Structure 1
Amino acid sequence: MTVTGLLVLGLGARSATPAADVEAGVSAALVQAGVLPAAITVLATLDRRAAEPGPRVLAERHGWRIVGYTAEELAAVDVPHPSETVARRSGTASVAEAAALLAAGPGASLVLPKRVVGGITVAMALSRN
């Protein structure tokens, strides 16, 4: 995938997912998408997950900035693949897609709709700003 602009990785995971599991799921999704970790600038997720070791270790390892959004902020984002299961668990129908779009800013588009690999949900958004 050729990238021109800010590429944001949106991440969804259950609470207290071990760092190794987060890394494995994200790595597999990036390989499937043909994206090198160096192309990612920001890791975006639910605020509660952004404070956990799994996502923090992953972001630190790759030099990505990490941002977290409240369930209310994520719920306000229109996404193509909402999930009632995710809504019941986290208070928003989307974490990965909504977080990626929100962090990429106005006019962003999904370049990788959500996919689940090893229990980790990943989506990517691109901003050309």
Structure 2
Amino acid sequence: MAGPVLSGNARLVVGVGASRGVAYAEIDETLRAALADAGLSAAEVVTVATVATKRDEPAVRALAEGLGAELLDYAAEVLAAVAVPHPSPTVAAAVGTPSVAEAAALAATRGGELLIAKTRSRRRPSMCTIAVACHRVGGNRT
């Protein structure tokens, strides 16, 4: 399956939903597998975004640092206002928003395109989800 066609200077945002205590390796392998499946590169990631309550989660911080990406966080109320294709009542009950990964990725792109929908870790039990969005071509990410 061919991946999305992106400009040579694509700017990707990774949204991360994570359980407390998730291992860095679990988030990293989930992201890298999803990027590879979509024909995208980790070198294109400029931002990692999550819900505010997970900003200080060591694995989330390590992911942003390892990618050389900025780390953004959003209040659950902000993420709850973002329309997403895969909302979860379970996540809504636990976190206060029906989406973290997809909503955070889309919020950080300010109207960008979701390239990789919510993708759950392959580990059991799964402790993270990721989603990837792209800034619109010519868009301003600041």
Q: Give the TM-score normalised by structure 1.
A: 0.91
Mapped contact 1:104–1:125 kept (Cα < 8 A): yes
| Residue 112 of structure 2, aligned match among 108, 111, 115 | 108
The aligned amino acid for 1:113 is A
Q: Comparing both structures, which one devotes a greater share of its residues to helix?
A: 1
Q: How does 1:3-22 map to 2 (within 5 A)?
A: 3-4=6-7, 5-22=10-27
Q: Corresponding residue for 1:79?
A: 84
Q: How many pairs are equivalent?
A: 128
Relative to the length of structure 2, the TM-score reads: 0.83
Larger radius of gyration: 2
1:54 equivalent in structure 2: 59
CA distance in 2, matches of 1:7, 1:25: 16
What stretches of structure 1 of length at least 5 have no aligned partner? none
Residue 131 of structure 2 aligns to a residue whose secondary structure is: strand
User: Distance in 2 between the 1:18 and 1:126 partners?
Assistant: 26
RMSD: 1.4
Encode CA deviations 1:33-84: one digit per residue, 9 max, x unaligned: 2211101110111112121110111111110111111111100111111011
Q: Specify the alignment match of 1:123 in structure 2.
A: 131
Amino acid in structure 2 at the alignment position of 1:13: A
SS in 2 for 1:72: helix
Moved over 3 A (4+): none
Q: Percent of counterpart pairs with the same letter?
A: 42
Q: Deviations over 1:60-112 (max 9, x none)?
A: 1110111111111100111111011111111100001100000001x312111
